[in-house]
Amino acid sequence: MTISVGDRLPNTILIKATADGPDQVDTDAFFKGRKVALFAVPGAFTPTCSAKHLPGFVEKSAELKAKGVDEIACTSVNDAFVLGAWAKSADAGDITMLADGNGEFAKATGLDFDGSKFGMGTRSQRYSMIVNDGVVEQLNIEAPGEFKVSSAEHLLSEI
């Protein structure tokens, strides 16, 4: 079942790359008591993700925060080292990268897909959401192969 507006995010562990190495992030603790703009990409360094999705959130981070967003986070079914390198290459210092290396968060939210025919295995769908104190307030899931409703610009227009 796919998560919906009004649902609480499932509790899973994501991984964040830090200067001291990988750090476990409990989703209940991460989202508790604050408003987070969360977006997901099928893969770091993939064309649309690198050219449009991540750069849009980097560019619009100040505007999102001005509208009450406490933190902007990106998740992908990649490991923390890949997401850390991607953030560095994109100068995405304002974005918290949350690795879902085994796809557990994507599966728990029902926002996973089978990319095996492209050699990618299980991946996350492309989406954006506003999460307030662990509850989904807004959810924008892309149709396969599209990039419209999950953009930072679209999310800003909904806040």
pLDDT digits (tens, 9 = 90+) for 27-57: 999 999 999 999 999 989 987 878 889 999 9
What mean pLDDT value characterizes the chain?
A: 94
Q: What contacts 65, CB < 8 A, 6 or more positions away?
A: 72
**Residue 117 pLDDT greater than 90, yes or no:** no
Fold of 13-158: Glutaredoxin (3.40.30)
Global pTM value: 0.95
| 102 close to 55: Cβ distance less than 8 angstroms | no
Task: Output the CA angle 104-106-108, nearest 5 degrees.
Answer: 65
**Please, what sign has the CA dihedral across residues 152, 149, 73, 6?**
positive
Residue 55 — left, alpha, or beta (φ > 0 → left; ψ -120 to 50 → alpha)? alpha
Residues that are catalytic:
49
**Please, what sign has the CA dihedral across residues 3, 97, 16, 31?**
negative
Q: Which residues pair with 139 in a beta bridge?
A: 129
| Residue type present at position 33 | G
pLDDT of residue 110: 97
